Amino acid sequence: MEKGQTLQTHLLEELADGKIDERLFRLLIDLTRPANEIAAEVSRAGLADILGLAGQRNVHGEDVKKLDVYADGLIVEWLREAGSACGMASEEQEEIIAPSRRGESAEHLVYFDPLDGSSNIDVNVSIGTIFGIYRRRSKSSGPAGKDDFLRKGGEQVAAGYFLYGTSTMLVLTTGRGVHAFTLDPRLREFRCSQIDVKIPARGSIYSCNEGNSSKWEEETRRYVETVRRGSPTRKPYTSRYVGSFVADFHRNLLKGGIFLYPGEVQKAGPPKGKLRLMYEGNPMAMVIEQAGGAATDGKRRILDVECSDIHQRTPLVIGSKDDVEEYLSYFK
């Protein structure tokens, strides 16, 4: 692969080399169609009637932005019409989304967060669409069932995200490294802009909402205090926190660093996480590991966590490998 190559050409090469199959190729191309439309709407958000709340809450009890509703409907519509997914699960919808009749024979199912960081829409901060793809377990003769969806993240065959920022990017892995593609708005094609992205083994940035520190475990507070203040052998880290997970993740992927959204201590039971395992944790964990980084819930590798519910939440610490390992050392 070389810079400037289109996403389609890159995937055709992977198809020819037997690295992906034809059905995964088709699904990945189909995912770029709604992303193109979402990017166009985001770029004119201030001019269109899509800003502000839609007057409803999603399954997590969060206020839904109008653009959330638009993005969610668009992705579902495109994938159902294309017939390239045997089922879908959206962070915005409570139940598994059935495919079209044509999609019942498809081999792959998709988890997606249609618009991560949507609380930042009104202030023009980068937002994104996150997705994880699994191959179905059941026979290709009907919609994917519950057993097809309740999976470990390590079973993903592809994952990535679209970032809607100063440019629109697709960061993608199919299990053989991470590549970044930038949308050419004139041709509406994604072209390779970064080949084999690798996160530095150690960064100098930490990203977290320190306003929640009173709810963290003591070990997490001590770790954050250490990187904030520095030590005799290391300079203090720089704090960078946008509050849009996809934006914070993308910066740290390129520059190195650690993102923390630890669980909150409860009166009984383990700390309770906020991020969604299947829509945010697993896709980003696959990307970061393929780029040489690491992801944990504080005790386990994220990609090894068993899923019991499609809307399961998890603590998440993700980023440069040495930084994540240092964080975990505080719990030993």
pLDDT at 305 over 90: yes
Handedness of CA 99, 102, 105, 108 (dihedral sign): negative
Per mean pLDDT, which range of 56-65, 161-170, 287-296, 305-314 is the poorest?
Answer: 56-65
How far, in whole angstroms, is CA 250 from its chain's centroid?
10
How far, in whole angstroms, is CA 114 from its chain's centroid?
10
Residues above pLDDT 70, as percent of the chain: 94
d(CA 238, CA 276): 26
SS3 at position 186: coil
Domain ranges in the chain are: 7-194, 205-329
The amino acid at 43: S
Least Cα distance to 189 among 61, 55, 39 occurs for 39
Q: Answer yes or no: CATH 3.40.50.2300 is held by domain 7-194.
A: no
d(CA 89, CA 131): 10
When pLDDT is averaged across residues 146-152 and rounded to a whole number, the result is 96
Residue 48 in tokens: 């269109």
Q: pLDDT tens digit string along 14-68?
A: 999 999 999 999 999 999 999 999 998 888 766 556 566 666 666 666 665 688 8
164 to 77, 116, 150, 168, 293: CA distances (angstroms)? 20, 10, 29, 5, 23
Asked whether the beta carbons of 287 and 173 are under 8 A apart, the reply is yes
pLDDT of residue 17: 94
Least Cα distance to 65 among 125, 113, 119 occurs for 119
Least Cα distance to 7 among 30, 41, 23 occurs for 30
d(CA 291, CA 177): 6
Instruction: Tally the residues of the chain.
Output: 332
pLDDT of residue 66: 81
Least Cα distance to 280 among 326, 249, 254, 239 occurs for 249
d(CA 218, CA 326): 15
- Over its C-alpha atoms, the chain yields an Rg (Å, rounded) of 19
124: CB partners within 8 A, 6+ apart: 45, 46
What's the N-to-C CA distance of the chain in angstroms? Answer: 43
Q: What are residue 179's phi and psi, to 5 degrees?
A: -130, 150
Q: Answer yes or no: CATH 3.40.50.80 is held by domain 205-329.
A: no
Per mean pLDDT, which range of 45-59, 71-85, 100-114, 143-157 is the poorest?
Answer: 45-59
Residue 231 in tokens: 């030590």
State the average pLDDT for the chain.
Answer: 92
d(CA 326, CA 328): 5
Residues above pLDDT 90, as percent of the chain: 80
Q: pLDDT tens digit string along 246-267?
A: 999 999 999 999 999 999 998 8
Residue 151: pLDDT band (50, 70, 90) is very high
